[in-house]
Amino acid sequence: MTALELVQDLTWLIFIAIAVATLLRATHRPTPSNVDVGLLFGITTFIIVESSVVTALGITPNAWTNDLNSGLVMLLPFFLLRLADDFAGVGRRVRAAGTSAIALSIAALVAYAPPRPLLATALVGAVFVVVTLYAALVFLRNLERTHGVTRRRMTAIALGSAFLGAVILVATVGAIDPAVTGLEQILTNGLALATAVSYYVGFAPPRVLRRAWQEPELRSFLTRAAELPRLGTTEEIVREIERGAAAATGGDASLGLWDERAGVLRFTQRGAAGTFGVRPPNLIAGRIFEMQRPMFVLDAARGDPENAEVYRKRHVRIVVGAPITAGTRRLGVLTAFSERAPVFTQDDLELVQLLADQAAVVLESRALIDEAARVRAHEEATRLKEDFLSAAAHDLRTPLTTIIGQAQALERRARRDPALGAEVGGIQRLVRESVRLRELVAELLDASRLERGQLVGPFAPTDVGRLVADVARRQVAEQRPLEVRAEPGLVTYCDAHRIDQVVTNLLENAMKFSPPESELEVRAWRDGDQGIRVSVSDHGIGIPATDLPHIFDRFRRGSNVDDRRFAGMGLGLYISRGIVEQHGGRIWVESQVGEGTTFHVALPSTPVVERAEVMN
Amino acid sequence: MNATLFRSDPGDGGRRRPGGRASISGGTQPPKVTLVLVVDDDESILGMVSEVLADAGFGVARARNGREALAAVDRELPSIILLDMRMPVMDGWTFAKTLRDRGAAVPVVVMTAAEDARRWAAEIGAEGYLAKPFDLDHLIDAVRKHAGGARRN
């Protein structure tokens, strides 16, 4: 076996291997370009196998086999032209011209059996060469507009086409001038092999090769993804993800962010300000979002005929998309698309899903960073407000401390040492009014904080029954007949300090507005599943029916109360209602003038055990 | 007038301890008298609290900020410190920390007009707190309660 024969056999083997691979793929996934590629290699291999079989069997090639071979050979540029159109788009006129030239060549080959006139051979060769070189040019020109995997594939195809052109050129020259036959054979075989490999790599890159090409793009995307959340605005991040996805897939990419409020996926306009919204399940992106699964759509216009015009206008033909989802939070959709169907393969589904998952991580981190910033800004604003209030409170209380303390000190001495001749009555008024001023300041500050939502603090498990009983004994002490009935185990989550404040306020009211010897009743019980109930009853002056609806309003007090000594600012019940309501509870009053008054409080009962488990 | 008030009969606090006749001007102080260090930048409060405590039979030392208070602790060896928190020069937090770092175990009662009296007291490991404006009964009760448990090392 000569070296030449070895090269020839090797070439054929490679051709056969490629043909099997591409034909298998064409039958498995019969997309137009897969079929074209399969036919291209199938035909080539058929010619090779056929001629070797004929040679091996010692059959003299006859006119019929020659015609078949010639016709099949000329189908090769035809499929090449189709593939060029599929991949890069050639004009309709070019396609028509190319197709007719090829048809003409086949006719010429059939019409002129060998030995053919030189001119016919030269013309047929020229058509072949022109078509292949044209295809090479088309692919080369397209390189500019592609990137990543696609760019590499285009390069390989352009190279393959150039090799094929050279094969035909050499063969034609050989046919015209038999003197160069030896050299011609070597060149043809080498070039044919180069063509086969280039085409295989370009048209039908095996999965391993695609992965290898995608890997660096993917790696750079993943590396960059770690920094993306801190990059700047969400728009900039979206643009970066799109760029990375485009590089990794070799097509274009666009990311639609889910706008919960508007119910649309928002896509950034390419090269224009603003966004356009897609309402799921509209368009393929909307369908991907709605169904929450990746999709591979070979021909968008055919897959979604209602919107064919949209896809055409945006040059979208093949679409590979995946939902961007973080846990159960649906964030959006990432789609890779291209005007050229062969740019993606089904394998890209996995890649796009991977990119979408990465995008989810990036967007989620970004959202968390935004959220943290919002919380910080809110806290800052709250703190500033709080600072003002706290500062005001501090400054009001400081002089009050001296006034109350000094007044009480004077009162003590005056009582202890009547010989001093101090005006006890006057000093007592001073003490009383300064204490009242303290209550007013406290009420005012509580009401301000209530309105800012700052009054009620963190909740902790509290035995409300015990709290109520303790407050009642502390407030009423020995001053009054007191009946306390509190069920054991009334435990719920609440701000015990503030609930204490409510019960204290109700008891203070009850004591103010009832005769000194009358009995007070305090109760706490569980009201079925309704929660925890507390009531404070007195046998006092009662509240007129006309006042009842307003009793919890600001600056209100019963119209039958004319003793100014009783009153704070009338904010006590307003604050109590606020505290109860911020616990998710309810406060109301029942009263009969002259009979007495009962205030009711209902607090939701949070199962303490369950909450504790959640906290663990 | 002041002198008259200070030298008047001791209050509840004085009555409880034998020979508890207190005098702010020192001199013949009985050795077992409870000395209270009052720290506050507000002159009026400082004056009022000092008078009231003296009147109740306690010995009193005063300081207007944390730094003065540290000097007073070294000099007077108080049994208890009533500590305002927001003060110029050295605030209550720094004072309390320095005090603990030095290993002094004098009980501290925080005395503040801010919202967070209880929290701040917990923060600096104080024995108690008085939210301004307080009643005198509370002031005297607090001093009595915590001065008793002086935690000297």
Q: Which residues from chain A sit within 8 angstroms of residue B41, using beta carbons?
A: none
Indicate the residue of A395, A412, A438 with minimum beta-carbon distance to B133: A438
Check: CB of residue B146 under 8 Å from CB of residue B127.
Answer: yes
Q: What is the pLDDT of residue B30?
A: 47
For chain A, the straight-line distance linking the first and the last C-alpha, in angstroms and rounded, comes to: 80
CB of A457 within 8 Å of any CB in chain B? no
Whether A409 and B139 lie within 8 Å, measured CB to CB:
no
Residue B91 banded pLDDT, cuts 50, 70, 90: confident
Nearest C-alpha in B relative to A432? B135
Q: What is the mean pLDDT of chain A?
A: 81
| Residues in A 410-429 with any Cβ partner in B closer than 8 A | 412-413, 416-417
Q: What is the pLDDT of residue B27?
A: 46
Whether A413 and B5 lie within 8 Å, measured CB to CB:
yes
pLDDT digits (tens, 9 = 90+) for A329-356: 899 999 999 887 777 877 788 889 989 9
Q: What are phi and psi of A558, to 5 degrees?
A: -55, 140
Interface predicted TM-score (ipTM): 0.74
Whether B136 and A412 lie within 8 Å, measured CB to CB:
yes
Nearest C-alpha in A relative to B130? A401
Whether B45 and A403 lie within 8 Å, measured CB to CB:
no
Residue B63 banded pLDDT, cuts 50, 70, 90: very high
Whether B48 and A405 lie within 8 Å, measured CB to CB:
yes
pLDDT along chain A (616 residues), means of 10: 72 82 84 82 81 70 66 79 78 83 79 71 80 83 78 85 82 70 72 83 81 84 82 82 86 89 83 75 89 89 87 87 89 89 80 89 86 78 66 85 90 82 81 86 84 81 89 82 86 88 90 86 85 90 84 68 55 89 89 89 72 38
Check: CB of residue A196 under 8 Å from CB of residue A18.
Answer: yes
Residue B9 banded pLDDT, cuts 50, 70, 90: very low
* Cβ contacts of B8 within 8 Å, gap of 6 or more: A413, A416, A417, B55
pLDDT digits (tens, 9 = 90+) for B44-55: 999 999 999 998
Q: What's the rounded Cα separation, in Å, for the pair B59 and B29?
A: 8
Q: What's the rounded Cα separation, in Å, for the pair A427 and A414?
A: 8
Q: What is the pLDDT of residue A324?
A: 93
Name the minimum distance, in Å, from the CA of A441 to any CA of chain B.
11
Check: CB of residue A335 under 8 Å from CB of residue A321.
Answer: yes
Which of B41, B45, B86 has the most A C-beta neighbours within 10 Å, making it the best mutation to test the interface with A?
Answer: B45
Q: What is the pLDDT of residue B2?
A: 38
Whether B113 and A406 lie within 8 Å, measured CB to CB:
no
Phi-psi region of A588 (alpha: psi -120 to 50; beta: other; left: phi over 0): beta
Which of B7, B50, B135 has the most A C-beta neighbours within 10 Å, making it the best mutation to test the interface with A?
Answer: B135
CA trace torsion A420, A424, A429, A434 (10° rounding) = 40
Sign of CA dihedral A211, A216, A222, A225: negative
pLDDT digits (tens, 9 = 90+) for B28-41: 444 567 899 999 99
Whether A405 and B133 lie within 8 Å, measured CB to CB:
yes
Residue B121 banded pLDDT, cuts 50, 70, 90: confident
Q: What are phi and psi of B144, to 5 degrees?
A: -60, -45
Whether B133 and A390 lie within 8 Å, measured CB to CB:
no
